[in-house]
Amino acid sequence: MECLRVKLYTPTGIFKNPLSIKGIEVYPLPPYSTIIGLIYRAMGRKWNGEYFQISIQGDYQAIYRDYVWFKKYDFKKKKLDKLPLQVPILYNLWLLIHIKASEELLKEIENGLKEPRELLFLSGGEYPVKVEEVKRVKCFEKFISEEDNITLSYHAYIPKEFKERISFSSTGEGILFSLSHFYKNSQKPKTYSWIDAYYFPKGTEIYGSIILDEDNHPVFLAQPEVAELKRAEEEYVRFYAGNWLMASACVGVLKVLENAGEDIERYVEEKSLNLPKELWQRLPELYAEYLLKDAQHTLRASYEKEKDKSKFNPYNVIILRSLGDFYKNSPFTNPTLSYITKVKGVSIENINQVKNQVKSSFMEGYKYFLSKTVETSQTCFFCHERQAKNYVDATTFTPLFASLETVRNFIWDPIPICKECEFLLYFASAGFYRSAGKYLFVYIPDDLLETYRLNLVLSTKEEIEQEKLGKVLSVVRYVLDLEKQKSSWVLQNIYFVEIEMVGDATANIYSFHISPNLASAIRKLIDKYPKNLQDIFSEFLFYIYTGRSLYEFLFLLLSGFFRKESYENLKDNTIDARIIRAGRTMRYLSPNLLFFINFQEVLNMKEQKDYIDRAFWAGRALKKLYNENERTQKKLEPLTYRLLEAVRRKDKEYFIHNLIRAYLEVEKEIPYFFKEALDDKNFSMIAYAFIIGLNSEEKTKAEEAIEETTNEGEITESA
Ligand SMILES: [Zn+2]
How far, in Å, from the CA of 417 to the mean position of ligand 1? 5
At residue 195, does pLDDT exceed 90? Answer: no
In contact, 626 and 666? CB cutoff 8 Å: yes
How far, in Å, is the centroid of ligand 1 from the Cα of 391? 11
Is 90 exceeded by the pLDDT of residue 365?
yes
Residue 485: what pLDDT? 42
CA of 667 to the centre of ligand 1 (A): 77
CA of 242 from ligand 1 middle (Å) equals 11
Residue 711: pLDDT over 50: no
d(CA 248, CA 578): 31
Q: How far, in Å, is the centroid of ligand 1 from the Cα of 196? A: 18
* Ligand 1 centroid to residue 401 C-alpha, Å: 17
Beta bridge mates, 130? 9
Give residue 487's Cα distance to chain centre: 18
Q: What is the DSSP letter of 117?
A: S
Q: In angstroms, rounded to a whole number, what is the distance separating the alpha carbons of residues 16 and 39?
A: 19
Which helix (H) or strand (E) segment holds residue 610: the answer is helix 609-626
- Spacing, Cα 385 to ligand 1 middle (Å): 6
Span from the CA of 423 to the centroid of ligand 1 (angstroms): 10
- Beta-carbon contacts of 360 under 8 Å, excluding residues fewer than 6 positions away, are none
Secondary structure (3-state) at 142: strand
**Span from the CA of 388 to the centroid of ligand 1 (angstroms):** 7
Question: From the centroid of its chain, how far is CA 93?
Answer: 23
How many angstroms separate the alpha carbon of residue 376 from the centre of ligand 1? 13
pLDDT in tens, 409-467: 444 557 789 999 999 999 999 999 887 678 888 887 778 998 898 888 777 654 444 44
Residue 292 has what pLDDT?
95
Q: How far is the CA of 389 from the centre of ligand 1 (A)?
A: 9
Rounded Cα distance, 212 and 1, in Å: 10
For residue 190, what pLDDT is reported? Answer: 56
Query: Is 152:204 a contact under the CB 8 Å cutoff?
Result: yes
Q: What is the 3-state secondary structure (H, E, C) of 344-357?
A: CCCCCCCHHHHHHH
Element (H, E) at 391: strand 390-391
Distance 416 CA to ligand 1 centre (A): 8
Q: What is the mean pLDDT of residues 257-263?
A: 93
Residue 211's CB: how many other CB atoms inside 10 A? 21
How far apart are alpha carbons 219 and 158 in whole angstroms?
9
What pLDDT does 466 receive? 42
Distance from Cα 371 to the centre of ligand 1, integer Å: 16
Write down how long the chain is: 719
Cα of 374 vs centre of ligand 1, distance in Å, is 14
User: 420: CA distance to ligand 1 center in Å?
Assistant: 6
Q: How far is CA 662 from CA 559, 633, 642, 670, in A?
A: 21, 12, 11, 9
The alpha carbon of 425 and the centre of ligand 1 are apart by a number of angstroms equal to 10
**How would you classify residue 216: left for phi > 0, otherwise alpha for psi between -120 and 50, otherwise beta?**
left
Beta bridge partners, 93, equal: 10, 60
pLDDT category, 82, cuts 50, 70, 90?
A: low
For residue 340, what pLDDT is reported?
92
Provide, rounded to the nearest whole percent, the portion of the chain with pLDDT above 90: 40
Amino acid at 673: F
Alpha carbon distance 595, 541 (integer Å): 14
Q: What mean pLDDT, rounded, does the chain reach? A: 82
What is the spatial distance between Cα 525 and Cα 598, in angstroms, rounded to a whole number?
8
Distances from the Cα of 584 to the Cα of 201, 403, 564, 623, angstroms: 43, 44, 5, 21
Structure letter (DSSP) for residue 409: E
- The dihedral through the CA atoms of 630, 632, 635, 636 has a sign that is negative
Decide: helix, strand or coil at residue 532: helix
Based on its alpha-carbon atoms, the radius of gyration of the chain, rounded to whole angstroms, reads: 30
- Strand 495-501 and strand 507-513: the pairing is antiparallel
CA of 275 to the centre of ligand 1 (A): 13
CA 187 to ligand 1 center in whole angstroms:
21
Query: How far are the Cα atoms of 47, 94, 107, 540 from residue 39, in angstroms, in the given order?
Result: 10, 16, 12, 46
Residues forming a β-bridge with 73: 80, 408
What's the CA-to-centroid distance between 431 and ligand 1, angstroms? 18
Distance 424 CA to ligand 1 centre (A): 9
Gap from CA of 392 to ligand 1 centroid (Å): 11
Q: What is the pLDDT of residue 60?
A: 85
Residue 477 in this model has a pLDDT that exceeds 70: no
pLDDT at 718 over 90: no
The rounded distance, in Å, linking the Cα atoms of 719 and 709 is 16
So what's the pLDDT on residue 492?
A: 56
Distance 390 CA to ligand 1 centre (A): 10
- State in Å: Cα 486 to ligand 1 middle: 32
Q: What is the CA(236)–ligand 1 centre distance, in A? A: 13
What is the number of other CB atoms lying within 10 angstroms of the CB of residue 47? 16
Kindly report, residue by residue over 47-78, the tens digit of the pLDDT: 887 888 999 999 987 766 555 555 555 556 66
Residue-wise DSSP of 646-715 = HHHTT-HHHHHHHHHHHHHHTT-PPPHHHHHH-STTTHHHHHHHHHHHHHB----HHHHHHHHHHHHHHH
Dihedral in degrees, nearest 10, Cα atoms 532, 433, 384, 26? -20
State how far the Cα of 616 lies from the Cα of 595, in Å rounded to an integer: 12
**For 135-179, how does the pLDDT look when each residue is reduced to its tens digit (9 = 90+)?**
999 999 999 998 999 999 999 999 988 888 888 875 556 777 777
Cα of 418 vs centre of ligand 1, distance in Å, is 4
C-alpha 90 – ligand 1 centre gap (Å): 31
- The CB-side HSE value for 696 (13 A sphere, CA atoms) comes to 22
Query: Whole-angstrom Cα distance, residue 440 to residue 432?
Result: 5
Question: Which pTM was predicted?
Answer: 0.62
Contact 180, 209 (CB under 8 A): no
Whole-number Å distance, alpha carbon 427 to ligand 1 midpoint, is: 14
191 CA to middle of ligand 1, Å? 13
DSSP secondary structure string, 182-227?
Answer: EES-SSSSP-EEEEEEEEE-TT-EEEEEEEEETT--EE-PBPPP-S
Q: How far is the CA of 387 from the centre of ligand 1 (A)?
A: 7
Q: Of 248, 241, 283, nearest to 431 (Cα)?
A: 248
658 contact partners, CB below 8 Å, separation of at least 6: 639, 642, 643, 646
482 vs 43: CA distance, rounded Å: 51
Q: Which span out of 37-41, 374-378, 382-386 was modeled with the highest average pLDDT?
A: 37-41
CA 493 / ligand 1 centre spacing (Å): 25
What spacing in Å lies between the alpha carbon of 372 and ligand 1's midpoint? Answer: 15
Q: What is the pLDDT of residue 638?
A: 92
Name every residue whose Cβ is closer than 8 Å to that of residue 566 and which is 6 or more positions away in sequence: none
Q: Which helix (H) or strand (E) holds 254?
A: helix 244-259
Element (H, E) at 611: helix 609-626
Answer with the residue of higher pLDDT: 470 or 85.
Answer: 470
Q: What SS3 class is residue 126?
A: coil
Q: How far is the CA of 239 from the centre of ligand 1 (A)?
A: 7
CA–centroid distance, 68 to ligand 1, in Å, is 30
- From ligand 1's centre to the CA of 383, what distance in Å? 4
Separation CA 65–CA 546 (nearest Å): 10
Average pLDDT for residues 253-267, to the nearest whole number?
94
Q: How far is the CA of 83 from the centre of ligand 1 (A)?
A: 29
Q: If you measure from the C-alpha of residue 270 to the centroid of ligand 1, how many angstroms do you get, rounded to a whole number? A: 18
Q: Which of 7-21, 80-94, 481-495 has the highest mean pLDDT?
A: 7-21
Calculate how far, in angstroms, residue 228's C-alpha sits from the geometric centre of ligand 1. Answer: 16
Query: What are the backbone dihedrals phi and psi of residue 381, each rounded to the nearest 5 degrees, phi first?
Result: -65, -30
Instruction: State which of 107-111, 181-185, 466-470, 601-605 shows the largest mean pLDDT.
Output: 107-111
Q: Tell me which of 53 and 25 has the higher pLDDT.
A: 53
Look at residue 467 and give its three-state secondary structure.
Answer: helix
- For the chain, count helices (H), then strands (E): 27, 21
The pLDDT score that the predictor gives to residue 403 is 61
* Separation in Å, CA 372 to CA 331, 359, 394, 428, 430: 9, 20, 14, 20, 23
